[in-house]
Amino acid sequence: MPFADRADAGRQLAQRLTTYAHRHDVVVLALPRGGVPVGFQVARALGVPLDVFVVRKLGVPGHPELAMGAIASGGVRVLSEDLIDELGIPCTAVEQVSVRERQELERREVLYRGNRTLPPIQHRTVILIDDGVATGASMEAAVAAMRQLRPAAVVVASPVGAIESCARLRRVADAVVCIETPEPFQAVGLWYQHFDQTTDHEVIELLRQSSASPGSPASRAREDSLASAGAAGLPAADSGNPLDGSRSPASARDAATPGAHHTSAVDIVRTRAQRLNGDPHDYDALIDAIGDAGFVLIGEATHGTHEFHRERARITQRLIVEHGFTAVAAEADWPDACRVNRYVRGDSGDSSAVEALDDFRRFPVWMWRNTDVVNFVSWLRSHNETVPPDARAGFYGLDRYSLRSSIEAVLKYLDRVDPNAAARARVRYGCFDQFSDDPQTHGYETEFGMTPTCEREVVAQLVDLQRLRTEAHPRDADAEEFFQGERNARLENAEEYYRSMFRGRQESWNVRDRHMADTLEHLAAFLSAGSDRARIVVWAHNSHLGDARVTEMGDRGELNVGQLIRERAGTDAVLIGLTTHEGTVTAASEWDQPPERKFVRPSLPGSYEHLLHQTGIARMLLPLRDDLVLAGAVSEPRLERAIGVIYLPRSERTSHYFLSRLASQFDFVLHFDRTTAVEPLERSVGWETGEPAETFPSGF
């Protein structure tokens, strides 16, 4: 029978571990995040200390599910030297993976423990706990790392696990306790009635409760640990969470000692950044560093910046010409992009790039119908005319379910049947491209207040719309074949996708990004069939392509394309972010409104953009993956700006900033200190006149 939740699973697991109760030589170490609610119940029932053991698996580049080693709390690193030698993995690749995972491990260590150290392990019995054992790779890595600390015994305990994984763990642990070992296993979450993602805040709170229990062994152990370390324990409730507050540790320290750490970070960046001069060799080092990667994800801090569109096109052109990349996959509706794909391959009747972009007629039109995209599409058509048909590069949309046209259909339907719901929907969709909550619209984040009947009708209409578009829209042969094989599954998944549009932000975001990541993988598989491996450039917003696990997104349970592709492809994926300090941008003031040319306010102090601005370098490339010193200068949580299709300067901090760890979020970052608005093909009055000067920079 499934467990009710992790707490219930922990209580049941404790009943299997009574032989370890009330022993001074026993400590429970839970693997965060999901293992902590389980471990909390076990430690409380047994009357023993609870702490976390942070372990990060070191995945083989290109095969992240295969562990070549692990790093863990206490500075432990274990490598499978035989596997590394057998696969011929270069030492530099091992170090790159280690550095990236070490940054995330250290982030979690600080987040969960503050200044406390790992409790004494030597000669003690350690119970390692997780909420489930699927492949067992993480737990096996944890056991290997724990052995380096010389415990008396290592016990693995989990409510549920795959039978073969538990058998393998018995060969490395002294004991394995698993309540359920079902066949077939399938997934951990299936064995819980409630399996919501555990947040960092929950982990911190459970550790606080465990240490605060008066007179408990956990409390005494923590007090001893704190006394020996001279630390104050976990941060106080009002001191903030490094990735959950309005101030990052870096900005807080800067405030305490003005200029100290911040200046050193600025100096390091100023010294080690590669300056961009606008010449043809600007990106030589970047192109070489990309090497034979199969996925190059190029982000943008705004959808409406000319320099972002132009420079990612320059990089993409070189990847196509010099490295044989065969596709551009963009954050665009698939049907609209298909017309462009036919044009660049020479298979359409369109006479120009402008005409080929004519299907992009839904908000935000300027995102793709702009002069920079026209220039790239024209170039790609010309390039393809010089190469054989099977070497031609295509242009594809990642959004299989036509999000923006679907939103348009929702609004039209609601305008007719429920104007009040339509008004709420417009506010909700106005926040769709914003990174963080706007207090003025927070009340609409969770639901529209529609009746279940109305929601069912809207979803049904959207599924019908998708079916009609699939059947009616002309496509080239490749796209037709790609889609025909998936038609039934796509339309079934479409209902989940559309229904998520009426749910909370987290669910709608996650469903969309999972679909975009899946589309990218399916596209790569299709283009690779019967030929060399497909290599694809991805164009989307930074918020979709930077690794969500090291941003506020991950802390609130959101994921994104960058995270998913990095997890699946490892070092075969290269993530590139683009940022700016100030300038102008093309954006709307609310959903479905004409574009305006707005001033981008100077970046806030305590942000990465402000740090980069202080270097005095106008244009730069940060090779974070390959320069560990440089990465260390931008590895602490700071604010980062994200402007989508809507820009709200009056609520700049709440609407457009989030906390991130830049060195782990991207492999490379391009910064352009002052940028200009992308030029729409259809200019509105608001774009022609621009924002009134007196509203800048105060906004009043």
Beta bridge partners of 327: 394, 536
Q: Print the SS3 string covering 286-343.
A: HHHHHCCCCEEEECCCECCEHHHHHHHHHHHHHHHHHHCCCEEEEEEEHHHHHHHHHH
Q: Is the pLDDT of residue 217 over 50?
A: no
- Tell me the C-alpha distance between 201 and 244, whole Å: 9
Amino acid letter, residue 108: R
Shortest CA distance to 126 belongs to which of 157, 159, 151? 151
Got the DSSP string for 417-442?
Answer: H-HHHHHHHHHHHHTTT-SS--TTTG
Write the CB contacts of 313 (distance below 8 Å, at least 6 apart in sequence): 372, 375, 376, 379
Each as own residue / partner, the long-range contacts of residues 2-5 (CB below 8 Å, 24 or more positions apart, any chain) are: 2/190, 2/191, 2/192, 2/193, 3/159, 3/160, 3/191, 3/192, 3/193, 4/192, 4/193, 4/194, 5/37, 5/192, 5/193, 5/194, 5/195
C-alpha triplet 487, 491, 492: angle, nearest 5°: 120
Listed in sequence order, the residues at least 6 apart from 607 whose beta carbon sits closer than 8 Å to its beta carbon are 638, 639, 640, 641, 657
Give the gyration radius of the chain's Cα atoms: 26
Which has the minimum average pLDDT: 252-256, 553-557, 634-638? Answer: 252-256
For residue 399, the number of C-alpha atoms closer than 13 Å in the C-beta half-sphere is: 23
Residue pair 587/643 in contact (Cβ under 8 Å)? The answer is yes
Buried b (16+ CB within 10 A) or exposed e, 157-173: bbbbbbeebbebbeebb
Residue 286 in contact with residue 562, Cβ under 8 Å?
no
Q: What are phi and psi of 645, to 5 degrees?
A: -80, -10
The HSE-up count of residue 640 (CA atoms within 13 Å, CB side) is 32
The pLDDT of residue 495 is 61
Q: 558-596, pLDDT tens digit by residue?
A: 999 999 999 888 888 999 999 999 999 999 998 889 999
Q: Which two tokens stand for residue 457?
A: 């009708």
Token digits for 629? 């010193």
510 vs 230, higher pLDDT: 510
> At 290, is the pLDDT very low, low, confident or very high (cuts 50, 70, 90)?
very high
| 226 contacts: CB under 8 Å, gap ≥ 6 | 116, 232, 233
pLDDT band at 113 (very low <50, low <70, confident <90, very high): confident
Domains and CATH numbers, the chain: 6-229 (3.40.50.2020), 402-514 (no CATH)
Question: From residue 367, how far is each of 108, 166, 248, 444 by CA, in Å?
Answer: 37, 51, 32, 25
Confidence grade of residue 509 (pLDDT, cut at 50, 70, 90): confident
Q: What span, in angstroms and rounded, lies between the C-alpha atoms of 621 and 609?
A: 13
Give the list of residues 6+ apart from residue 656 with CB closer than 8 angstroms, or none: 434, 435, 436, 641, 642, 643, 647, 648
Place 335 in a pLDDT band, splitting at 50, 70 and 90: confident
Would you place residue 82 in the very low, low, confident or very high pLDDT band (cuts 50, 70, 90)? confident
Q: Is 455 helix (H, G, I), strand (E, B) or coil?
A: helix
Residues 543, 544, 547, 550, CA torsion sign:
positive
d(CA 583, CA 699): 15
Rounded Cα distance, 39 and 9, in Å:
9
Indicate the pairing of strand 327-333 with strand 536-539: parallel
Identity of the highest mean pLDDT range in 207-216, 271-280, 479-488: 271-280
- Of the candidates 279, 313, 274, 278, the one whose C-alpha atom is nearest the C-alpha of residue 678 is 313
Please name the amino acid found at residue 73: S
- SS3 call for 647: coil
The number of angstroms, rounded, from the C-alpha of 459 to the middle of its chain's C-alpha atoms is: 27
Burial 358-395 (b: 16+ CB within 10 A, else e): ebbebbbbbbbbbebbbebbbbbbebbeeeeeeebbbb
Q: How many CB atoms lie within 10 A of CB 208?
A: 13
- Mean pLDDT value across the chain: 81
Residue 297 sits at φ, ψ, to 5 deg, of: -100, 115
Q: pLDDT tens, 1-42?
A: 689 999 999 999 999 999 999 998 999 999 998 999 999 999
| pLDDT tens digit sequence for 250-285 | 443 343 333 333 448 999 999 999 999 999 899 999
Instruction: Tell me the longest C-alpha to C-alpha distance in the chain.
Output: 80
Distance of alpha carbon 493 from alpha carbon 60, whole angstroms: 31
Buried/exposed code over 452-473 (b: 16+ C-beta within 10 A; e: otherwise): eebbeebbebbbebbeebbeeb
Task: Please name every residue paired with 79 in a beta bridge, in sequence order, or none if there are none.
Answer: 69
pLDDT surpasses 90 at 140:
no
Report yes or no on whether pTM surpasses 0.75: no
Q: Which residue has the higher pLDDT, 626 or 382?
A: 382
- In sequence order, what DSSP letters do the residues of 468-532 get, joined into one string? HHHHHS---HHHHHHHHTTHHHHHHHHHHHHHHTTS-HHHHHHHHHHHHHHHHHHHHHHHHTTSS
Query: What is the tens place of the pLDDT at every residue in 350-405?
Result: 999 999 999 998 889 999 999 999 999 999 999 999 999 989 999 999 986 566 66
